Amino acid sequence: MGAVQVDVRLDDVVLRALERNPSRRYQHASQVKTAVESISSTAPPPPTPNADALAQRILAGDYNLSIKSCLKRGWALVRANFWPLVGVNALMVALMFFTGALSGVWLGMNPPQTMSVLSMFIVGPLYGGLYYYFLKRIRDEPTTIETAFAGFSQRFLHLFLAGFVTHILIGLGFFCLLLPGIYLFVAWTFTLPLVMDQGLDFWTAMEVTRKVVTRHWWKLLGLNIVLALVSVSGILACGVGLFVTSQSASPR
């Protein structure tokens, strides 16, 4: 016989009916009837994500990470969604620099620091929404500009804590030893999508990420190094393009 699924909201009804303090119990049977009918007429809340089960499911898939395949799929995503991705990323970068400069001015910093106090409040929700946007694009699910900023309306507190805590740990890791800092940076890359996409709280997401990164450390480190090199190459190409354009446009 299969297990019977009982709505957890009924626990509150039972506990209130059994309260030791008489004034806190239901005073009439009709109140119990109303509470039960209200529960039965509405959808149950979504189940709490099981972090251990999720970690075991991810770890059980002993996949072979192919950097070439990842780059190929990423390039296909960019080609199919070039202008939306460019626009969203440009907006994110502009917002990060704006808040960094603004908070730097407020704190009297000269020059303003791009990762100062105000930036620390938005980096988690900002990147969480961006990763969520990418995931939905990869799955061919409908997205809007609001999707990229969903981190500010969904899971804001957990995304903020994940971004804040991991950035502090990354800073301490780089300051003390380089390898722990790199380890935490790789882990942070996967923490925010788990918070946003799987509905995990920030500490549970960090624990799941730690297990996955530890299991596939060298593969994930190699992928991040390749992505960093690709990013640097893109920035250099952009700089060269701007320089050539400015030189050709300047009066002779």
Q: What is the pLDDT of residues 129-182, one digit of tens each?
A: 888 888 888 888 888 888 888 888 888 888 888 878 877 777 776 666 666 777
Tell me the pLDDT of the chain (252 aa) as tens digits: 444 455 556 667 777 777 777 776 777 777 777 777 777 777 665 555 566 777 777 767 656 677 788 788 888 888 888 877 777 777 777 777 776 666 554 444 444 444 455 666 788 888 888 888 888 888 888 888 888 888 888 888 888 888 788 777 777 766 666 667 777 777 877 888 888 888 888 888 888 888 888 877 888 888 888 888 887 887 788 788 777 787 776 665
Give a yes or no: residue 45 inside a domain.
no
Same domain, 24 and 119: no
Give a yes or no: residue 1 inside a domain.
no
Same domain, 60 and 109: yes
Give a yes or no: residue 46 inside a domain.
no
Label residue 231 exposed, middle or buried (CB < 10 Å: 0-12, 13-18, 19+).
exposed
Give a yes or no: residue 145 inside a domain.
yes
Q: How many domains does the chain have?
A: 2
Same domain, 91 and 142: yes
Which amino acid belongs to residue 30? S
Give a yes or no: residue 80 inside a domain.
yes
- Token pair recorded at residue 68: 């070439």
Host domain of residue 30: 9-40
pLDDT of residue 3: 42
Give a yes or no: residue 3 inside a domain.
no
Same domain, 79 and 145: yes
Give a yes or no: residue 173 inside a domain.
yes
Same domain, 61 and 109: yes
Give a yes or no: residue 4 inside a domain.
no
Same domain, 103 and 176: yes
